[in-house]
A and B are shown apart, each in its own frame.
Chain A
C-alpha cells in the first residue's frame, strides 16, 4: 500500500486529473441536484406560487446569524460548536496557503491566504469540533436513536482531509508525500461525496429555507426561527 501510494504516477494522478474530476463532479453534481430539485418542486404545484424573496432572505439571515433563532438560543453549546465548525471547514481549505500555491500553480489564480499558524489552529478546531459532534451523536440518546452508520461514515469522510492535511503539513505519522497523497485523495473523495450524500445540506439548506421561510413569513405571518 505504502509502495503504491508512493508511486509518482499516483501522485500525479491525484494532484492532476483527480482534482479536476473532483471539482467537476462537485460542481456539476451540485447543479444537477439543485436543478432536479427545482424541477420536482414545480410538479408539486404549491411550492413556487408561495415563494417570497423577502421571507427567504429573512429566514436565511436568521439561520446564518449565530443565535438568530430560538432553537439556537436553546442549544447554546451546540450552536457555538457548529458555527465555529462550519466557518472553519469552509474557510480553512479556501484560504490555506498550501492550497493557494497549488491553485496558483495550476490555474494562476490566487487570493488572500491566511497565516499558516491560524489555518493550523482552524484545522485542529475542525477536528475537535467533529469529535464533539461525534460524541454528541454517540452519547445523546435522542440523536443516537436517529443515527445510522452512514452518519458516522460521513463524519469520518469530513474528518479525514483535515486530519491528513494536518499530519502531512507537520510531517507526522507517514512520509510527507504519502500523507499528502492520502490527504488529496480524501479531500477529493469528500468533494465528490457532497452532492450525493447528506453533505448536500450545504446547498439544500438554501432551498428548504426558501420554502419554509416563505410559508412561515408570507403565508402564515409567523416566525420560522
Chain B
C-alpha cells in the first residue's frame, strides 16, 4: 500500500522547524529505501489549524497524526511507523477532553465539531502544485459555470445560498454581485481582500498559503458573472509565504488555461494581479484598500455611493474577503440547497475562527454557524487553561466586543453576535479568564485603534484618543464615576459621527465592557482595586497564612525574589520588591495567594 506522509508547512509549523522535519523524513525514507516496499511521498502542505501542536506530520491512508514532531523523531517515524506499521505513542496528540492520546487528529474534539468548507483543502494538498487542487475537484466549478450556466444563473445561485461576506460586515454576497451586475459601466473589477489586519488573526493567511487556487477559482467565477476581465488580490507585505504561493498558483493556473485569455476554451478572459499592501489596519477597509491600489494614501471615503457602483478608479467593483472567495467554488459544485442546510436562518454555512487566548486548544477552526459560543470555547477549544474561571470571550477583532459568561449560549452567527454588542468581524476569538482585567482589555484595544485610525475624521481620531485617556486614568487609579458617563457619551458620538467602519465600531470594546463588567470599572474607581490583579497601581499580592503550606513554588517562580519563607511554613511577599507580575497567584495550588488593593509605597 502506498503511504503518503504529509508535513504541515504553514507559517505556524514552519516557525517550529517543520522544514527540518520534512528534510529529515525525506533523508531517512531514502536512506532506508522505504520505496522498495512502501511507496512514500512527502508533501509540504498548508496549515492544519492545530498550530500550537505543530509541526504536524500525517501519515495516510492510516490516518495517523503526529504532533510536535522534532527533526530527531524522523528516523523513528520511518523505522517504526512506515516500515513496522507501529504507532509512536509519545507523538500522538493528547486530547485534553478525553484525557488520552488519539491516533488521528480527526479524533480529537478540536476537529470533531468542525466542518470544513473554506478550509477543505488546507493541510490536504500541496499548495505549490495545482494538480493536487485539481485532483480534489478543483476548477470543476469553473468548468461548470462556463459550460452550463449563464452569468445570471451564477448570481442567482450565490444569492440563494445565503452566503454573507466573511470579512467583517456580513453583507450578502449574491446581492452585492447582483447590484454590480445591474450597473452598465465597464470595465468592472474584482478584488480579493487579503489584508487581514486584525492582530493575531491568520485565517485568510492560511487559505492564501494553503489553498491559493480556491481564491483564483472563486474570483474567476465572479468575474464571469459580473463580466469583468481584471482582478486584484491585495496581500499585506508581511505575508511572504502567501505572496509566494499565490504568485505560483496564478502562474500555474494560467499555464493550465484556468486563468488568462479564453479560459478553458471559452471566449471569457480574466486575469489577476497581486498588489502588496503596506500593512496598515485601516487599509483592510474596502474604500481605503481601493485608494491604496490606486496608489494613494490608504484613507477611507464615505460609502454613500457603494463600491459596486463606483469603486476602484470609480468603476463598478466587487470586493470580497479571502474566506468568502474560498466558499464560492464549493457552493457552485454542491449547490445552494446543500449550503442552506448548514448554519442558521440568517447566517448560512461555516465560519473560520482563529481561537486564541486562555484556552487549551488554540488554532484555526471552521465551525458551522449556529454552534454556541460555549461549545466553541469548551468543546472545540477544550476549556480554559488550567481550568481557571472563564470570564469573557472577545470576538470580532480589535473593534469587537467582550461577551460574558451569561451569554455563552448564544449561537455564533452574524446577528446574535451583533445583538450581544460585538460582531463577527473577520473571525478572531480570544478567550479570557479571571486573570484578565476588562478595563485593561478595553484600554488595550483603544490603544491599538488610536494608532491605527487613519486620523482623517475628528470623531474617530480625537474621540478614541480621549476615550483612551480616560481608560488609562481608570487603570492607573485616577478615574471618577463621572468618567463613565463621559465615556458613554463619547462612545455614541464616535459610533455615529465617524466616517468609516473603524470609527463606527471602535467603541465596541468600551461599550460591552461597560455593559457587562461595570462592577470592574467601579472597583477600579471607587475601591482603587483591580479585581483581576492586572492594573499595577491597583494591585498587590498577599499570602494567606492559614492556607499557605509552605511548598515554596511561588518563591521559585518569583522573578525578583520578593517571596521568602522556610519550607513548610507560611511564606511572605516583600511588597517593596514585588513587581506584581502575578506569577505566585498563577502557580499556587492551594489558593493561598490573594489579590488585594494596591498599596501606596
Query: Are the chains A and B members of one assembly?
Result: no
A contact set with B: CB distance below 8 Å: none
